[in-house]
């Protein structure tokens, strides 16, 4: 770990403990199994039942897309956990925070996968094949400093909130809509957790944090997967009206910058002031 990162994490340790305690106090310990229509499920051929076929699908293409992307991104959780854990491995407080976030995220994969399997909304063989390919390929990101990672995860969770809320709004399946809405509620609380840590970092080092936020915004994009025969999930989500660059700017980046009061900070050094100008340009603020 970079010595400056160690110093930042040590300085923010009490804030991390406070933020985690506040998060746990308001987070709902909901149960994934309660959202799954188990009575709709039946055995596949391996156990004497019937294998999946396209006519069994009752969801729209947009609903299938939203649910498939959701479960694949959640299934890739070990990659994101590793990215976060590697940088924030300073002490027990940070480990508890990472562990809590990981456990909450895993529920999203559990509930979506169980729903998709019981309702036969997708081809289970294809979904598993894509999952294995996605996990095998993994993802690459540059080595980031601690505050940059906190800002990145605030953006990630804010984006997930928006994507799942919009998916809930367009779904005509009441149960799937409820699942998307339930996941979005988690995402919003997780976004608040990481946003609060960035806010604490601003109190500790405004200049360094503004630069980190600008770098995170510059490099930020929604995690994506390639769906064989359909294309890249980012393009498909945009075509479906669920998430695109305009949505990202107005509903993800701008609200976080306003929450952090980036444009109201006084006394910034030259590098931080230049970084703030980049942020102004990114969201169209004069």
DSSP per residue, 40-60? G----GGGTS----GGG--S-
Q: Which parts of the chain fold into alpha helices (H)?
A: 3-11, 13-26, 61-75, 77-87, 92-119, 124-137, 146-170, 174-204, 206-219, 233-239, 245-248, 254-260, 270-283
| Band (227; pLDDT cuts 50, 70, 90) | confident
Residue 227 DSSP one-character state: E
Cα dihedral across residues 278, 257, 284, 69: positive or negative: positive
| Band (134; pLDDT cuts 50, 70, 90) | confident
Q: What is the pLDDT of residue 90?
A: 57
Reading the block at residue 207, the tokens are 């200049």
Question: Does the pLDDT at position 41 exceed 90?
Answer: yes
What is the rounded CA–CA span in Å between residue 65 and residue 132?
18
Q: What is the pLDDT of residue 1?
A: 45
What is the rounded CA–CA span in Å between residue 154 and residue 3?
23
Question: Does the pLDDT at position 192 exceed 80?
Answer: yes
| Band (226; pLDDT cuts 50, 70, 90) | confident
Reading the block at residue 18, the tokens are 């406070």
Q: pTM of this prediction?
A: 0.92
Q: Calculate the CA 257 to chain-centre distance.
A: 18
What is the rounded CA–CA span in Å between residue 248 and residue 234?
12
């Amino acid at each position: 770990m970079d010595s400056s990162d160690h110093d930042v994490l040590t300085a923010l340790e009490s804030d991390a403990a406070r933020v985690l305690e506040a998060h746990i106090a308001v987070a709902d310990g909901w149960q994934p199994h309660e959202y799954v229509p188990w009575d709709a499920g039946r055995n596949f051929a391996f156990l004497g039942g019937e294998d999946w076929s396209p006519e069994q699908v009752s969801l729209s293409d947009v609903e299938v897309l939203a649910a498939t992307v959701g479960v694949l991104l959640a299934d890739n959780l070990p990659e994101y956990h590793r990215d976060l854990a590697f940088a924030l491995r300073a002490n027990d407080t940070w480990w508890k925070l990472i562990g809590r976030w990981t456990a909450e995220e895993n529920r999203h994969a559990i509930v979506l996968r169980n729903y998709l399997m019981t309702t036969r909304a997708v081809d289970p063989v294809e979904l598993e094949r894509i999952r294995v390919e996605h996990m095998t390929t993994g993802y690459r990101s540059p080595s980031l400093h601690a505050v940059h990672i906190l800002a990145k995860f605030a953006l990630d969770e804010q984006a997930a909130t928006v994507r799942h809320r919009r998916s809930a709004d367009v779904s005509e399946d009441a149960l799937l809509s409820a699942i998307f809405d339930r996941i979005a509620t988690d995402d919003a609380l997780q976004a608040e957790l990481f946003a609060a840590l960035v806010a604490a970092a601003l109190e500790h080092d405004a200049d360094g944090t503004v630069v980190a936020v600008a770098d995170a915004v510059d490099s930020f994009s929604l995690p994506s997967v390639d769906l064989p025969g359909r294309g890249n999930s980012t393009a498909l989500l945009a075509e479906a009206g669920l998430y695109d660059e305009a949505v990202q700017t107005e509903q993800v980046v701008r609200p976080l910058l306003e929450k952090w009061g980036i444009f109201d900070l006084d006394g910034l050094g030259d590098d931080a002031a230049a970084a703030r100008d980049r942020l102004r340009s990114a969201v169209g603020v004069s």
